[in-house]
Amino acid sequence: MDPSFEENGLKKGPWTPEEDEKLIQHIQTHGFGSWRALPKLAGLNRCGKSCRLRWTNYLRPDIKRGKFSQEEEQTILHLHSILGNKWSAIATHLPGRTDNEIKNFWNTHLKKKLIQMGFDPMTHQPRTDLFSSLPHLMALASLKDQLLRHQYPLMDLQLLHTLLALQSSTNYNNIHHNGNDVVADHHVEMEGPTLLYNGQSPRSLPTSSS
DNA sequence: AACAGAGACAACCGCCACTTC
DNA sequence: TGAAGTGGCGGTTGTCTCTGT
C-alpha cells in the first residue's frame, strides 16, 4: 500500500506543481465554494481539508514569503506575550503571513532565542530556575574567575566586552566562585519582556536576519 | 562520496465552535 | 433542541535540505 495514499484512495503528502496549478485554476475560475466539494470539481484526488490548507498556507496570492523582518519578529514577540499561542490572532497583525508560518517561526527560532536569553517562552518572564541556566553560568563563572585572577594581564577589551554582554543577557548579574560553589545573584531589576520590546536588539545573540 | 544528525517548514490530525436543518 | 456538516485552530509529525564527519 502506497503510504502517500489514504485508505479511501485520497492522496496525502507533499503537493505537486500540477496539483497546485489545478487548485489555483479552479479558485481563479470558480471562486470559493464548499471546500469539501472542491477537490472533485477541480479534479484533485485530495480531501477538502488538504486543499484549504494548501491554499491558505501556500498558494494564496497575498502571501509574503521569505525571512521575517526585525519588525515582524518584534511584533510576534510582543503579541505572543499578550495573546499566547493564538497564532491566527497574531497573524491578523502581520499582513501576508500565515498562522502556520508564524507558528513554525516561533517554534524553530523565537522560542529557542528566548530560552537562550534566559526567558521563559510561555510567560516571557526571566526564568528563575537556576538549573536551567547552570551550564551557561558555569562557563561564565569559569571565564570570569580566570580573568579576575589576572591570568590575562593584557586583557583583550573585546573579550571583556563579550563577557559583560553575556553576563547581562542572563538573569543573573553577579556570577562568582565561592569556594567550590558557583554563586549567581538574581538580577532583580530586570522586568519581564521590556528588554526585548523597547526596540533594542538583544545583546550578544545573533538575530535571525544576521 | 556516503552517511547521520539537525534544522526548517509543509502538511496532517484531532478537536472545537459555529451553522444549518 | 440536538445531530450532522463544515471550517478553523493549535499541536504534532513527516519530509526535505543542509551541514558536519
- pLDDT tens digits for A43-95? 999 999 999 999 999 998 888 888 899 899 999 999 999 998 999 999 999 99
Of 1.10.3720.10, 1.10.287.3510, 1.10.10.60, 3.40.50.620, the CATH number of A70-116 is 1.10.10.60
Instruction: Return the DSSP state at A7.
Output: T
A105 CB inside 7 Å of strand B: yes
Q: Report domain extents, chain A.
A: 17-59, 70-116, 130-192
Tens of pLDDT, residues A12-25: 889 999 999 999 99
* Of A189 and A91, more confident: A91
Q: Which residues contact A22 (CB under 8 A, 6 or more apart)?
A: A42, A43, A44
Domain A17-59 and domain A70-116 have a common topology: yes
A14 CB inside 7 Å of strand B: yes
A17 CB inside 7 Å of strand C: no
Closest nucleotide (C1' vs CA) to A66 is B9
Instruction: Return the DSSP state at A130.
Output: G
Tens of pLDDT, residues A98-150: 999 999 999 999 888 887 777 778 888 776 655 555 555 555 555 555 555 54
Q: What CA–CA distance (Å, rounded) separates A180 from A120?
A: 29
What is the CA A34 to C1' C7 distance in angstroms?
Answer: 10
Q: Domain A17-59 has what CATH class? A: mainly alpha
